[in-house]
Chains A and B, each alone.
Chain A
Amino acid sequence: MTTLTSAPPRDRGVGPLRSSGIFIGRSLRHSLRDGEGMLMAIALPVLLMLVFTFVFGGAIQAEGYVDFVVPGVILTCAGFGASSVAVSVNRDVTLGAMRRFRTLPIRSATVLAGHVVASVLRNLVATGVVIGVAIAIGFRPTATPGDWLVALALVALWILAITALFAFIGLVSSSPEAANGYGFGLLFLPYLSSAFVPIATMPEWMRPIATHQPINPLVESLRALLVGQGAAPVGVSLAWCLGIVVTAAALIVWGFRRTARR
């Protein structure tokens, strides 16, 4: 016990940038340690893609279905991976870690930055794996490096947007199980778009819904950029993503204040 002296408290605490960095490290370690979570984040989208190309692919569209479906699978994969953020944020809120962080001389909201940044990185890795597997099973992108850059930027932005939304869900849910459940709803968006089947094949009343929802312009942009099918509504996609990021950020600020009062 020689190390404990009653020295006067010195300058304790760190700024928001430093604490964000520390929390990003924490969340990345979580991702690496949580083997099952990592497996789900990568294996699930890969499985999904295999199911769509090999099982449904034959029935849906004989030729070129791989090229048609991969852009949608990439975005669906982002949703799967990001959904785990709701659970990890909620665990911090409901199991007491957030309370502890709030007694430290730091900006405690930066713990959320840690979760979000780590999720974006984790999902970009998963996206890379999905693209690799896609190429292995016959996906033949025709994109120029510039197209790739725009496509990946859009994917990263979409991951950020959906991660932020899931972080908000985690912040305000009453338990990790509830967070998981609420988050599930968001994962249905890709199925209600042109990701897996052309919108023209859907019932007429459903078409406007499928067309005017955030993931549809993204799917179409990716498809246009990567395999040159159709037009790329990049502007609309950007607007949706940025809109979601801004909305989610505002909701997170509100939700964080609300948890502080709990």
Chain B
Amino acid sequence: MAGTIEIAGLTKSYREPVLDGLDLTIDGGVFALLGPNGAGKTTLVSILTTLLRPDAGAARILGVDVVREPHRVRRLIAATGQEATLDELLTGRENLVMFGRLLGLGRDAGRRADDLLAQFDLEPAGRRTVGSYSGGMRRRLDLAASLIARPAVLFLDEPTTGLDPVSRRRVWDDVRSLASEGTTVFLTTQTLDEAEELADRIAVLRDGCIVADGTAAELTAAVGGQRLVLFDRDGAEVRSIDTDGTAASLDAALTTLTDAERGLHAGLRSPTLDDAFVALTQSPLTHREAAA
């Protein structure tokens, strides 16, 4: 079955390889690409949004090739970059109307802008110039601008980086309602909670390859094992040690404890997504097979 986004053997190098034969198929819903800084997330999004040409490999959006027919791809997608790219000297509404008109909405652009301002709760602010907006308002206006002509696929590159917790939640709510309306959302993030909150499917990018791919639960399960955890009197985690879940490895873990640690409370727990992320992005690269 053809996916909404199909990526095959995608390769891009600058001095060093950034994407290294990446394969991925995304069917719809909210997809989160998770990876540490410099993993190649922005490079991948740039290729998918026609800003960058890959060295090798192919990518198609709704069956349209991003290298051969970038102009057709641009009719299907919308993208917001890491930096909010709005026009500071224009008002919120003027920004939306401009994007609407550039996308061919003509006279409908104004009505559509008003709808979006209402939907994103930016109605009074829409009459002010964007220069006076807070970071959260900019992001939300940026998001609204991406939706003005109802894209089939929306790319969000680190949509909440630099936002306070309240603003982050509002952006999350917006993304969720979009997805519920049928827009496919491809988002990149370096935070786990964001991926866990929003995504139906998470892929972990590392050294230019997808090293794990699945739901949050699948990624956690793929890491496997049990952690030996030591708590202090207040129940806070003092230390955690990886084990593979066997009695022998537990025994080995116990022998590494200091005398002071032997006095603490001990317990076992399953790995969290956090553990999975650390394991997948920081352990030696031997887990291509970890992909679910």
- A interface residue numbers (CB < 8 A to B): 1, 3-9, 11-14, 18-19, 22, 25-26, 29-30, 33-34, 95-97, 99-106, 260
Decide: A12 and B75 in contact? CB cutoff 8 A.
Answer: yes
Residues 52-94 of B contacting A (Cβ, < 8 Å): 71, 74-81, 83-85, 87, 89-90, 94
For the complex, what is the distance from the CA of A100 to the CA of B82, rounded to whole Å?
11
Listed A/B pairs (5) with beta-carbon separation below 8 Å: A1-B181, A8-B152, A34-B89, A104-B102, A105-B71
Chain B residues, CB < 8 A from A19:
102
- Contact-residue bracket for chain B: 35 or more
For the complex, what is the distance from the CA of A7 to the CA of B149, rounded to whole Å?
10
Chain B residues, CB < 8 A from A33:
89-90, 129
Decide: A12 and B104 in contact? CB cutoff 8 A.
Answer: yes
Decide: A29 and B149 in contact? CB cutoff 8 A.
Answer: no
Which 10 A-B pairs give the minimum distances between C-beta atoms? A6-B182, A96-B85, A105-B74, A4-B181, A100-B85, A96-B83, A12-B75, A33-B89, A103-B79, A105-B75
Q: Is the interface of A mostly helix, strand, loop or mixed?
A: loop
For the complex, what is the distance from the CA of A8 to the CA of B151, rounded to whole Å?
9
Chain B residues, CB < 8 A from A100:
79-81, 85
**Cβ distance A28 to chain B, nearest Cβ, rounded Å:** 11
Across the two chains, which residue of chain B brings its CB closest to A32? B89
Decide: B83 and A14 in contact? CB cutoff 8 A.
Answer: no
CB of B226 within 8 Å of the partner chain: no
Decide: A95 and B76 in contact? CB cutoff 8 A.
Answer: no
Decide: B81 and A14 in contact? CB cutoff 8 A.
Answer: no
Decide: A99 and B81 in contact? CB cutoff 8 A.
Answer: yes
B148-175 CB contact bits vs A (8 Å, 1 = yes)?
0111100000000000000000000000
Chain A residues, CB < 8 A from B94:
29
Chain B residues, CB < 8 A from A1:
119, 177, 180-181
For the complex, what is the distance from the CA of A102 to the CA of B73, rounded to whole Å?
12
**Cβ distance B87 to chain A, nearest Cβ, rounded Å:** 7
Chain B residues, CB < 8 A from A99:
51, 81, 85
**Cβ distance B240 to chain A, nearest Cβ, rounded Å:** 40
